[in-house]
Amino acid sequence: MKLTTTKRLERLHDRYRNGDLSRRSFLTLTAAAAGSAGLSMPWMSRALAAVQEVRFDGWGGVVQDAKDKYAFQPYTAKTKIKVVQGTFGDENEMITKIKTSKPGDFQIVDSSGLTAYLKYVNIGMNSEINEANIPNMANVLQPMIEPFRKLTPKLSAVPYDYGTTGIAYNTNVISQEEAKEKGARLLLDKKYAGKIGGQAEMITRIWYAALATSQDPNDIKDMDVIWAKVRETRDLAKKLWSSGAELMDLLSKGEIVVTDAWSGRVAALQNQGHPIGYLDPPGSYAWMDDILILKGSPMAECEELINFMLDPVTAIAVAEGQSYPPSLDPTKVKLTEKIEKLPAFDPTGKMKSLTFADPVYWTTHSDAWTKQWDRISKGA
């Protein structure tokens, strides 16, 4: 009997690790089988110890506050599993931490789309999600999921929201007409020297230098011109910001009057009554955030959390709280008027009006461009 029970315990363990059993089912079945035979397997003390928490690292500020209030706290109340949270301002720094950590130290990352996703894949930190454990994925926009499947047929992440990095400007200083006329060139207007901002991040700086020089950000022909414009923006800027909270602070206090900016953070400022306009010039940088499960994470619990986050009630509440449209397909899920008015919202569900970074193109050039950007950001 003990031999038969041992084999059964091993099969249950394999099913749990593969995500085919929930934690509750696994604990119930294992405890019953082991108890009846008086057995203990080498892995049982660790596996039978109920997972009491999962770790989530994200962008902080209003974005993470919304997830905490509308997703994490209700999830903990329902499951008794605590969501331990960390924050970062630069995902490249997060990736560096993950590379030097043990599998399982970091578990879920609020990641910045396809280019970052490919970096996790290239360092072998992607997992394999059991999509059967996330039935709410059926409501996620297929144009958001498909690019991930092209990189890894077995997904490690699920798209959660999207937005744009457009141009934010103080309407007391800059008119809507001027903003539309100048577009990306507004970030290089010398009459606003010392009042210009910008994200201190390589992709955004190169992207807007490309738009200002009429180049395709996904197929740049003249990098010398690009770097010259990056330096020019750096020299004109009062501050290159590193977080959404810093962006909002600079704009709300009037320390800067124009900057590239995240659409949701601008919407939050507008909701607070600040005189901030927003423009997506042609080709502006669109992005989608995904909830990424790292290798070595407790898969069943992480999948359970993601499924909870994708529930329409939860996802809509988070979207309204963080001012970014959710990844839910508006042709399948009825969204609110507040969401439909958010910057970058695509009512068609086809995402064809948005320009995303080509992950292969940008990953191919990432190391060289990051080194050059680091030099320029330090004054070179």
pLDDT at 351: 92
Question: Residue for token digits 């899920």?
Answer: 333
What is the Cα–Cα distance from 69 to 136, expressed in whole angstroms?
20
Q: What is the dihedral of CA 345, 121, 222, 218, to 10 degrees?
A: -30
Rounded Cα–Cα distance for residues 167 and 186 (Å): 8
Strands 285-293 and 157-170: antiparallel
Tokens 């992709």 correspond to 203
Domains 53-162+288-345 and 163-286+359-377 equal at CATH topology level:
yes
Residue 55 β-bridge partners: 84
Q: What's the pTM value of the predicted model, to 2 decimals?
A: 0.82
Distances (CA, A) of 175 to 172, 248, 276, 277, 279: 7, 20, 10, 9, 11
Give the pLDDT score at 29.
62
- In angstroms, the first-to-last Cα distance of the chain is 73
CATH topology of domain 163-286+359-377: D-Maltodextrin-Binding Protein; domain 2 (3.40.190)
**pLDDT of the residue at 33:** 57
Is there a contact between 83 and 76 (Cβ–Cβ < 8 Å)?
yes
Contacts (Cβ under 8 Å, ≥6 apart) of 80: 52
Please report the beta strands in 171-214, taking only residues with DSSP state E, as ranges in sequence order. Answer: 196-199
Q: Give the start-end residues of each E strand in 104-245.
A: 108-111, 157-170, 196-199, 237-241
All residues at 6 or more sequence positions from 147 whose CB lies less than 8 Å from its CB, including other chains: 114, 356, 359
What is the C-alpha separation between 188 and 226, in angstroms, rounded? 13
Q: 302, 309, 310, 318: which is closest to 53 by C-alpha? A: 302
Question: CA 264 to CA 165: how far, in whole Å?
Answer: 9
Q: What is the pLDDT along the chain (380 residues), one digit of tens a residue?
A: 454 666 766 776 677 656 565 555 565 565 555 555 555 555 455 554 568 999 999 999 889 999 999 999 999 999 999 999 999 988 989 999 999 999 999 999 999 999 999 999 999 999 999 999 999 999 999 999 999 999 999 999 999 999 999 999 999 999 999 999 999 999 999 999 999 999 999 999 999 999 999 999 999 999 999 999 999 999 999 999 999 899 999 999 999 999 999 999 999 999 999 999 999 999 999 999 999 999 999 999 999 999 999 999 999 999 999 999 999 999 999 999 999 999 899 999 999 989 999 999 999 999 999 999 999 999 98
Q: Where are the alpha helices (H) located in 286-325, listed in sequence order?
A: 299-310, 312-322
Q: What angle do CA 306, 300, 20 make, to 5 degrees?
A: 120
The one-character DSSP state at 34 is H
Classify residue 93 by burial, with Cβ atoms within 10 Å: 0-12, 13-18, 19+: exposed
Rg (CA), the chain: 23
Q: Mention every residue, 6+ apart, whose C-beta is less than 8 A from residue 57.
A: 85, 86, 87, 88, 94, 106, 108, 109, 110
Q: Which two tokens stand for residue 119?
A: 């970096």
Q: Domain ranges for the chain, please list them.
A: 2-48, 53-162+288-345, 163-286+359-377
Return the structure tokens found at 187: 């970030």
Residue 69 CA from chain centroid, whole number: 18
CATH superfamily of 53-162+288-345: Periplasmic binding protein-like II (3.40.190.10)
